Amino acid sequence: MTRQHLLDVDSLGHDGIVELLELSDSFVEVSQRAVPKVPALTGKTVVSLFFEDSTRTRLSFETAAKRLSADTMTFSVGTSSVKKGESIRDTVLTIEAMGIDAVVVRHGSAGVPHQISRWIDASIINGGDGWHAHPTQALLDCYTIRTRLDRRGERPFDGLHIAIVGDIKHSRVARSDVLAFTALGARVTLVAPGTLLPPSLAGWPVEVAHRLDDVLGDIDVAYMLRMQLERQEQALVPSLREYTSVFGLTPARAARLSKEALIMHPGPMNRGVEIGAEVADDERSVITAQVANGVAVRMAVLFRLLGSGK
């Protein structure tokens, strides 16, 4: 972890990821207690600064902070002075002046959390920036695979084959997951039409397939992505029905996945588009486990950044 921030997966590297996954185990245990709360961050204040819509990420961070006994503040752009023309810099300097320890930032533009980390002294955690990165999503995805498939050790994902399917081009989740999964040793195949892949994959440690049917029999994890229609400027697929017919995890395709395979999705899901309505509830689906693990993983991140007596 670069100093006291978590801005992307690259800066964590293999060792940083494994350390946080191990730390998450103890917070899963806390989350299962009758009173799921520890005093680790008493007196610390964690702010969520969300310039973009979110349900699970914001609630997950706020729950994590509360379970560590931190105070929380929520900033929503819709009801703030940003609407009156205040710049991001003035907004964060104002928030900092109230005395805070960490800021979870989500913004529609890549690089904003990084920029904010240069302006203020608090720890900055990237809660998703543009198409760039979503490091805590990658950590909770790794944690879910590790616990469900019982993968531990030095290179826990050695020999695992993970397909990430769908709108890779606009997905910060895909970028962070590729980095994290491959750092732990997995083989990753991106499955998407050419229009939904980044213009260049040079340097990406991945394989590419253009039909989900080509990889179904061979994968341990089917990681389905939402079609990010709000981030697309033009129609990149002929129609959603056409997309589903080639890339959707329909019941017929789910039947061809191995019995031990995991079905994953970062949410929010479009049931019936990228994932069949009933497939999301299949016994191999770990989609709600991803959400539950997200709280423990974010507790680990907050504890690691703020809990060591700084």
Catalog residues that contact ligand NCD under the rule CB under 6 A: 56-57, 128, 134, 137, 172-173, 226, 228, 266-267
Taking the C-alpha atoms of residue 63 and residue 72, their distance in angstroms, rounded to an integer, is 9
Helix (H, G, I), strand (E, B) or coil at 73: strand
Closer to ligand NCD by Cβ: residue 44 or 171: 171
Closer to ligand NCD by Cβ: residue 4 or 57: 57
Residues pairing with 199 in the sheet:
none
Closer to ligand NCD by Cβ: residue 169 or 172: 172
Burial (CB < 10 A; 0-12, 13-18, 19+), residue 308, is: exposed
Q: Is the dihedral of CA 244, 245, 247, 252 positive or negative?
A: positive
Q: What is the nearest approach in angstroms of ligand NCD to the Cβ of residue 66?
A: 19
- Nearest CA to 74 among 55, 109, 50, 98? 50
Q: What is the nearest approach in angstroms of ligand NCD to the Cβ of residue 56?
A: 5
Closer to ligand NCD by Cβ: residue 45 or 126: 126
Closer to ligand NCD by Cβ: residue 44 or 170: 170
Q: What is the nearest approach in angstroms of ligand NCD to the Cβ of residue 53?
A: 8
- Nearest CA to 167 among 266, 25, 61? 266
Give the angle subtended at the CA of 180 by the CAs of 37 and 40, to the nearest 5°. Answer: 20
Q: What is the nearest approach in angstroms of ligand NCD to the Cβ of residue 288?
A: 13
Closer to ligand NCD by Cβ: residue 56 or 161: 56
Q: What is the nearest approach in angstroms of ligand NCD to the Cβ of residue 9?
A: 14
Q: Where are the beta strands (DSSP E) in 249-302?
A: 262-264
By the 8 A CB rule, do 292 and 56 touch? no
Residue nearest ligand NCD, Cβ-based? 226
Q: Is the dihedral of CA 25, 114, 87, 107 positive or negative?
A: negative
Closer to ligand NCD by Cβ: residue 12 or 44: 12
Closer to ligand NCD by Cβ: residue 174 or 300: 174
Q: What is the nearest approach in angstroms of ligand NCD to the Cβ of residue 264?
A: 11
Q: What is the nearest approach in angstroms of ligand NCD to the Cβ of residue 266?
A: 4
113: its two tokens: 């959390």
Q: What is the nearest approach in angstroms of ligand NCD to the Cβ of residue 135?
A: 11
- Nearest CA to 69 among 305, 294, 299? 299
- Nearest CA to 146 among 293, 308, 5, 270? 293
Q: Is the dihedral of CA 177, 61, 128, 197 positive or negative?
A: positive
